[in-house]
Structure 1
Amino acid sequence: MALEVKKIQSLSAQSIEDLKAIEKIGGLEHLAQLSDELKKAMADEEQLRAVSPMLPPYFAELRKNLGFLLGTAKSLQTHGVNRTKDIEGLLDQLSHIK
């Protein structure tokens, strides 16, 4: 099997575009704000229970899941940046092959 440099270069360039889209994941500030508001509301658990006994555990579970989502998005952004650098390094190495 021969090394298909042109194909790898083409796919690498396309992959970099995909990764740049991942890097731009943003606009999640409303989720972060919602998580903060839920935390504030949970400070007075008695009041929440007065509204509905289900609210405190529901708020807690939602906050946990939002935190996980926000952390995953940040991690994905970091991976996007790092893999872009890796692929750019690959392209640099392949540019020396004729």
Structure 2
Amino acid sequence: MRRTARRAGKALGACAAAALLALAAPAGTAQAATGVLVIDGTEHEDPQGCYRLGDFAPPRVANHTDETVWVWSGPDCDGRVTQGIHPGESAIGRGRSVYID
């Protein structure tokens, strides 16, 4: 019985050590979305981060990337998310800014 408990303890210790190493390893560098994000006719190649939308006319957003574009109610990607525009979709941005990874 003690041998079984020791083996289980060693296995658990090995798993814990592996998990700790995995968490301690640095994450890969962030990469921009691949493709083109078009906001009111202006193209942004391999976009990343926050982009403001126009203040007057309803902004047209075309997502030709591999990531979802998130529309925010605030001008600096703050406030709340009002909609998502998935890859391959175009929509009127119902907010003040968009964010893409």
Higher helix share: 1
If asked which structure has higher relative contact order (CA below 8 Å, sep 6+), I would say 1
Higher strand share: 2
TM > 0.5 between the two?
no
TM-score by length of 1: 0.34
TM-score by length of 2: 0.34
